[in-house]
Amino acid sequence: MSDEEKKSAEEAPDFSKIIVGLVIAVVVLGGIVYGSYSLTQKKPGGQTFPAGFKQPVSDTPGANQGTTLASVNCAINQPNPDSVWAFYLKCDKFKGSENAKWGAYTNPEFGFDISLPSDLSTVEYQNGLGINYKNIQAADNLLFSADIASSRSGEFKDMKGDVYVKSWWKQFSGLVSLKSYEALTNQFNVKGHKAQYLNFANESPNEEVFFEIPNRPGDFIHFASGILDKSVYSKIIDSFKWAKK
């Protein structure tokens, strides 16, 4: 072999070593990915709740359990910082003034009307209407929001009518079961669905009402009672009607 041929042989890459190195790298990377996945699976996650619909308990199991409805003392005039929601839900819901005038609120995007008391402070969002009440932010207390099928994941995209309403809670780890369901027809003969769900503290602070948008099966306008007294909330639900086209 000439000197030139020896030099070329020395400079040529050893493909067998490169292949072995790549295999080792793939195995190591695979181990790292699997290890990370295992840790993620074992790590306890926080409870998830519907966006904008606050619950009276903490979103972390075992934390702030003093904020459950059952533990709230209504004899106390002001709630503790970690029990604001539970206090208002149990002891001081919005009842409004007897002299308040009720006026029409129209949602042109989804085509419906409701009546609201003049002393109810609300904030409009792109996807719903929030209520400001004392030191509770409107974004945390949505009176209604649009629940559109295309925005949901998995099997929930194809659910319609009472099937979806009865299964709605399964999308949130902080909710554990359906407590009650009934079909609803209000004074304007608008049909809807009324339900209550149990959270992980075995409490059901909200009454939820779903109106399925006409000619759009699976799309709903979703109401939640939140901090509204039942008398106010029921009147709002009874006032719901689809706008005439």
Q: What is the pLDDT of residue 56?
A: 55
37 lies in the same domain as 105: no
Whether 114 maps to a domain, the answer reads yes
**Residue 135 is part of a domain; what is its CATH number?**
3.40.1000.10
Q: 108 lies in which domain range?
A: 96-242
115 and 221 part of one domain: yes
Number of domains observed in the structure of the chain = 2
**Is residue 64 in some structural domain?**
no
Question: Which region among 62-71, 72-81, 196-205 has the lowest average model confidence (pLDDT)?
Answer: 62-71
Please tell me the predicted confidence (pLDDT) of residue 135. 83
DSSP result, the chain: --HHHHHHHHHS--HHHHHHHHHHHHHHHHHHHHHHHHHHHHSPPPP---TTB--SS-SSTTSSGGGSGGG--TTSSS--GGGHHHHHHHH--B---TTPPEEEEEETTTTEEEEEETT-EEEEETTEEEEEBTTB-GGGBEEEEEE-GGGS-GGGGG--HHHHHHHGGGG-TTEEEEEEEEEEE-TT--EEEEEEEEETTS-----EEEEEPTT-TT-EEEEE-TTB-HHHHHHHHHT-EEPP-
For residues 128 and 238, membership in a common domain is answered with yes
Determine which of 50-54, 95-99, 133-137 has the lowest per-residue pLDDT on average: 50-54
Same domain assignment for residues 235 and 121: yes
Residue 16 above 70 pLDDT? no
Q: Does one domain contain both 10 and 116?
A: no
When pLDDT is averaged across residues 167-189 and rounded to a whole number, the result is 95
pLDDT, tens digit (0-9, with 9 covering 90-100), for 69-85? 888 888 887 787 777 88
Same domain, 107 and 192: yes
Least confident residue range of 172-176, 179-183, 191-195: 172-176
Mean pLDDT of the chain: 80
Same domain, 109 and 191: yes
pTM of the predicted structure, to 2 decimals: 0.76
Kindly tell me if the per-residue pLDDT of 107 is higher than 70.
yes
pLDDT at 86: 86
Q: What is the mean pLDDT of residues 159-181?
A: 95
| Nearest by Cα to 165 from 239, 238, 222, 228 | 222
Residue of 227 and 9 predicted with greater confidence: 227
Does one domain contain both 149 and 28?
no
Contact 188, 240 (CB under 8 A): yes
| 179 and 110 together in one domain | yes
